[in-house]
Amino acid sequence: MEGFYNLKIQEFRTGATKQNMEVTHVKEENKKLIKTMSDLKGRLADLEARNAQLEKQYQDLLREYESIESEHTMETNRLKEEITSLRAEMENILQELQTIMDTKLSLELEIAAYRKLLECEESRVGIRDVVTSAVNSQSRGAQQLSEMITGYESKGDSSMSVKMMRGEVSAKTTYQRTSTGPVAISDVSQEGKFIKIENTSSGANRREVDLEGWRMKRVVDGKRTYIYPFKNVILKPGKSLKIYARGSAAEAGMNDLIFREEDHWGVGSQVVTSLLNEKDEEKATHTQKTLYN
C-alpha cells in the first residue's frame, strides 16, 4: 500500500512539474504576444499617421488639380471665343478687301475708258461718242464724267464756250481657248478672282490627270506675269476646280485651290493664260482681248 501511495505521489509531483513548465511556457508565450501586440500597436500608429499624411497630400493634390482644370477650362473657353472673334474679323477684312479690289478694278477700267475717250477729243468741237458696246454695257463713271464736264474755254482772238457731247464708254471683249490634252481652261474671271480648269476626258479616253509639277501662267498686257505651281493635285475625269487669288479666298469651295502669293490674277486689255505641264509644254490656253475703239 505504501508503495502505491509513493507511486501516486511521484506521479503527482511529475504532473505538477510538467504543469509548472507548461504554465511557465504559456507565460513566456503570453509575454511574447503582449510584446508583439505592443509592437503592432506602435506600427499601426505609424501607419495611421502615414495614411493621414498621404490622405492630406491626396486632398491637396485633388484641390490643385481641380483648380488647374478650372483655369484650363476658362483659358480654353477664352481662346475659343478669341478664335471665333478673330475669324469673324478676318471674314470682315476679306469682304472689305474684296470690295476694295472690285472698286479698284472698276476704277482701272473706267480710267482706261476715260483715257480713250479723251484721246478722241476733236478740236474745240467736243468729244464724240467713241465706243460702241459689243455687250451693251455702259460705264456709270463715264456717264458721270460726261455729265460733270460741261465745256471748256479756248483762248485766241476771241473766247468761246464749247459744250461736250455726252458719250457712252464700253468695251468689246473676245475670248479664245485652246487645249492639246484632257485638261482645258474652262473659265477665267474678268475681275482676276480665279482661273477654272476642267478634265474634259470621256469615253475610252477617260482618265485622271496628275498635275504635280504643272504650272498656271498668266501674262497681263505683256508686262506682268503670274505663275502658280500645282502640288499634289489629281484632276479626275469630268471634274473641275478653281484657283482663287488670295484676295478672293473667301469665295473658294472645299476642293478649290488658293494662290496665296497674289491678291488677284491681274486684269488688262490683253491677257494670256496658259497651262504648262512638267516639261514646260503648253497644254491649254485662254486668251482675252479687250478693245476700246
In this predicted structure, what is the pLDDT of residue 16? 66
Predicted confidence (pLDDT) per residue in 115-124, tens digit: 767 766 543 3
Distances (CA, A) of 112 to 109, 115, 213: 5, 5, 37
Output the pLDDT for position 170: 59
Three-class secondary structure of residue 258 per DSSP: strand
d(CA 131, CA 291): 9
Q: pLDDT tens across 167-193, in order? A: 444 567 888 999 999 999 999 998 899
What value, to the nearest 5°, has the Cα angle with vertex 109 and ends 92 and 107?
45
pLDDT of residue 70: 92
Q: What is the mean pLDDT of residues 130-136?
A: 34
Q: Report pLDDT digits (tens) over 95-106.
A: 888 888 888 888
Lowest mean pLDDT among 9-23, 29-43, 54-68, 276-290: 9-23
Q: Provide the percentage of residues in the chain whose pLDDT is more than 90.
A: 49
Give the pairing of strands 270-276 and 215-220.
antiparallel
pTM of the model: 0.46
Per-residue pLDDT tens for 224-252? 999 999 999 999 999 999 999 999 999 99
Q: Give the C-alpha separation, 12 to 189, whole Å.
A: 128
Report the alpha-carbon distance of residue 259 to residue 230 in Å, rounded: 10
